[in-house]
Amino acid sequence: MNTTDTNLVETTEVSFNVESINEIIENIHRYLNKHKEYINSLNVFPVPDGDTGLNMVLTIQGAIVQMKNNGRTEKNSGEYLKDFAEQMLLNSRGCSGVILSLFAQGFTQITANKDFSKENIYRAIENGYRNAYEGTENPREGTMLTIMRALKEKYAQLMEKEDNPLVIIQQTIPYLKEVLSQTPEMLPVLKKAGVVDSGGAGFIILLEGINKELSQLVVNGISLPSLLRIGRTTRKLLKKRLSELRKSPFAPLILNIDFSRIQNSRLVEALQNARNLLGNIHLNHNNGKTINREKLIDDLQEIDASWNPEIKNKYCTEFVLESDAITSKDQLREKIAHYGDSLIIINSNNKYKVHIHTNKPNDLFDDVSKFGSLLFTKVDDMKKQHRNFLSEDVVEYERDKSVFCIVSGKGFAEILKNLGADDILCYGKNKPSVNQLVKGLNNLKAKNIIVASDDSDILMALKYAVSLCKSNVFIVESDNPISLVSMLMNISKDYDINTIFDEAMNSINNIPFCGIARSTRNVTTENGAPVNKNDYFTVYKKKIILANKNLQELVFDTVQQLSAEGSLITIYKGEDVKKENSLIEQLRNKFSDRDFEEYYGGQYKYSYYITFE
């Protein structure tokens, strides 16, 4: 801790210095962020979706951003921290984020009086714990709540000998780690998986803040998926006959495992036993210790199963409901509890922040909308997250949602990027492979992705890529770049992913347009007029409406025929007419009652796309 931190608690009344408080909070946030992957790797309860650390980080991050944006009206540090905790609540993510926010809310309710004496900090911890415990539906031992209670108890003991509350908190940490190490005994699912509670570990890391006490936890460990594979290989090996076992190339590998790189206590024990057993077999002697092979196989099976549980309620769903019709958390709980499990409701005035695991998020949103306004919604597919978590190439999510566009032309790529697409795959002449699409989707590092392409031929590959991708992906089934422009003109990324997707789907046909291309064979227009190979033709609403040997004449005819569709006519030039510069002026002269704009689209199939708005 730096001096500023200590100053925060050394005096009973703190002078209000937002900058130094923010610095402390940001340091802690950075520290937590540094350790988030470690916390994620422990996440097995209630669902092993590997995001406890991320959720805690995002919860604090959301509050930091909100506090920076808000006009400050607080009068002192106590009030400032209370507001910060309220923002944490409103920005909380996942179970861990909600419980942490509840603790912060309870804590800062007490310190709002700007009394940072050791006695008041004790009351704050006590209230924080009570608030978190009471706010959690079906509170369980062996979770972050246990660590919070341990903090309260140990703090009470230590405050008899020490006056500085910060020092007291620092002195509680070894004890809290001890309690953390006991969490597998309290929560069987942790024991089966061979880990301590991730939320509890995250809470201790938070308490340590910028202190480096837990830095030894960040070691060059073997990844969880690799560990589970080692466990499975070992299990298969142990099932073999003795003669086969002796010949197996995997046996020496297991005999040489570096256990210091394994952060899973139960797996370490099982693999150590396996090593002993295999060693005995290999060396053809018994060192006196009898190891039950069947039990070892069962243990390894159980560890594996604990990381792959049946996820009954697929969607981790969160929302903020503003309602005057609902008057208490219990009333809301009664109305929505049947939708799933892991329900947590917290409230501040007439706002209710809800976390629940359910299979019917949309029904739930429809239902609660009857009681007020939904200010925020979030739906994560935990099955996808779980699959990502246990895969070798884990995607570390950095964003909640992203928009991804796949287009042929460089000009359109630039236009779409400027209109708000988070990333573009510009494929030029050759359609993208499934592999390229998966890579593009995973590169976004977003939990939820809206994806749209400019060609219906890409759709099949895209659907396959989506099945391989680690994120929740919503495909907007578009087949031209104008739809993508229209989509980006109409969506707002401030909304939740389902709303954005609905908006995207509703907007792709908003802009009337036609395409002008060169015919590769003899065809006819919708009226039966011939279109010879190499003639230019105009496609409007998927029908060939006009054709001409001369491209410029065809553009004029097309504008003439369709200009009633809009007063602003925009020409997007394809790659083959990139250098053409006189058309726009001629159009302006010929159709003086219309506005014209011209952009480089860079598409390959069509010489021009023309829109009418």
Partner 1 sequence: MSKKIFIIVGDNLGLSREQIDYEALEIVKFPVFVDGVEYRQSEEHNARWLISKYEKEKVVAKSSTLIHNEIAEIIERNHANYDVFIHVVMSSGLSAASFRVAENVRKQFENIVPVINVHTRQAINGVGSVLLGIIDLVKTQPDLSVEELSAACQQIVENTFSWFVFPDLNYLYKGGRIGKAQSLMGSVLHIIPVVGMMGNEKDGLVLPMGKGRTYRQVNDLIIEQIHAKMQEKSVTRIKRAITLSGYGDKNQDAYAALLEKIKMLPVDEIVEGQGGLVDAVYCGPGAYGVSILL
Name the residue among 298, 348, 337, 345 with its Cα closest to residue 318: 345
**Quick one: 243 or 492, whose CB is closer to partner 1?**
492
Give me the count of residues in the chain. Answer: 613
**Quick one: 301 or 567, whose CB is closer to partner 1?**
567
The minimum distance between CB 136 and partner 1, in angstroms, equals 27
Using alpha carbons, list the distances in angstroms from residue 573 to 296, 515, 563, 569, 586.
68, 10, 18, 13, 15
Q: Which long-range contacts (CB under 8 A, 24 or more apart) does 258-263 make?
A: 260/219, 261/219, 261/220, 261/221, 261/222, 262/221, 262/222, 262/227, 263/38, 263/41, 263/195, 263/217, 263/219, 263/221
**Quick one: 3 or 492, whose CB is closer to partner 1?**
492
The minimum distance between CB 611 and partner 1, in angstroms, equals 8
Q: Tell me the β-bridge partners of 403.
A: 450
The minimum distance between CB 70 and partner 1, in angstroms, equals 6
Burial class (CB in 10 A: 0-12, 13-18, 19+), 290: exposed
Per the listing, tokens 């926010």 go with 101
CA distance 532 to 328: 73
**Quick one: 221 or 566, whose CB is closer to partner 1?**
566
The minimum distance between CB 407 and partner 1, in angstroms, equals 13
The minimum distance between CB 613 and partner 1, in angstroms, equals 5
* Number of Cβ atoms within 10 Å of the Cβ of 243: 8
**Quick one: 253 or 325, whose CB is closer to partner 1?**
325
Which of helix, strand or coil describes residue 288?
coil
The minimum distance between CB 65 and partner 1, in angstroms, equals 11
Point out which residues bind partner 1 (CB under 8 A).
69-72, 373, 414-415, 418-420, 485, 489-490, 492, 566-568, 570, 597, 599, 613
Q: Cα-atom radius of gyration of the chain, to the nearest Å?
A: 31
The DSSP H or E segment spanning 289 is none
CA distance 183 to 185: 5
Note whether 447 and 470 are within 8 A (CB): no
Per the listing, tokens 């947590």 go with 344
The minimum distance between CB 593 and partner 1, in angstroms, equals 14
**Quick one: 522 or 581, whose CB is closer to partner 1?**
581
**Quick one: 372 or 428, whose CB is closer to partner 1?**
372
The minimum distance between CB 213 and partner 1, in angstroms, equals 37
- Helix, strand counts (H, E) of the chain: 26, 16
The minimum distance between CB 566 and partner 1, in angstroms, equals 7
What is the identity of the amino acid at 121? I
**Quick one: 10 or 422, whose CB is closer to partner 1?**
422
**Quick one: 39 or 415, whose CB is closer to partner 1?**
415
